[in-house]
A and B are shown apart, each in its own frame.
Chain A
């Protein structure tokens, strides 16, 4: 069965510092992976996704993620944090069951950006 683990429920970085949010997955088949961001009292916004092909995926707002099959990881990075990046971030894996594509989400990482 597919699953997602996000290490670190809370991460704090200084403004301008590197952002690294960790995601490891478990999947018996080639996974499809996603990162979403959620601002307070809002729904989820897609940051980026990996399906096939290039393992380094670029998303919106300067974020990128690298799919590493050998490490079963899909960590999210941003070279320089901005105050507006403060939010909760969710990693998800797409699960195929009878032709549907529901998502399994991790428990989330809350990013705090310090001035």
Chain B
């Protein structure tokens, strides 16, 4: 079990550019989540996939943000026309659906985005 991995770990970009982040969940996990964490705050939920279906999106996820999980394995998060306010740590988590209790989410190391 190699855990949740994210790539890249750091991204610096200029305002207006597009960026894409990748998340590889724990191999048998069918649920995948994206969160955003700004300085001094806790993570905030962005979106959630069960297998390849995107089942929930936060109002934080503007039209410039899009997420995919094409084969129910890895996921990508794309931000178009980046703005300075997009600077944050983007965290991915995965879990295995269960019946008896809520899933425990396992987090990756995050991608730190800096928009200049």
Residues of A within 8 A of B (CB): 4, 9, 32, 34, 36, 41-46, 49, 51-52, 90, 92, 94, 96-108
Contact = CB atoms under 8 A, between A and B. Distances in A.
A96 B102 contact: yes
B107 A43 contact: yes
B108 interface: yes
B48 A107 contact: no
Contacts of A43: 4, 6, 91, 107-110
Q: How many of chain B's residues touch chain A, expressed as a range?
A: 20 to 34
Interface in B73-116: 91, 93, 95, 101-110, 112
B106 A101 contact: no
B56 A100 contact: yes
Interface of B: 4, 6, 31, 33, 35, 40-45, 48, 50, 55-56, 91, 93, 95, 101-110, 112
Contacts of A34: 104
Contact of B91 (A32, A44, A49, A51): A44
A87 B31 CA distance: 28
B54 to A, nearest CB: 11
Contacts of B110: 41-43
Contact of A107 (B41, B108, B109): B41
B56 A98 contact: yes
Contacts of A51: 101-102
A97 B58 CA distance: 12
A42 B6 CA distance: 11
Given A43-B107, A44-B107, A51-B101, A105 B55 contact: no
B42 A94 contact: no
A101 B115 CA distance: 31
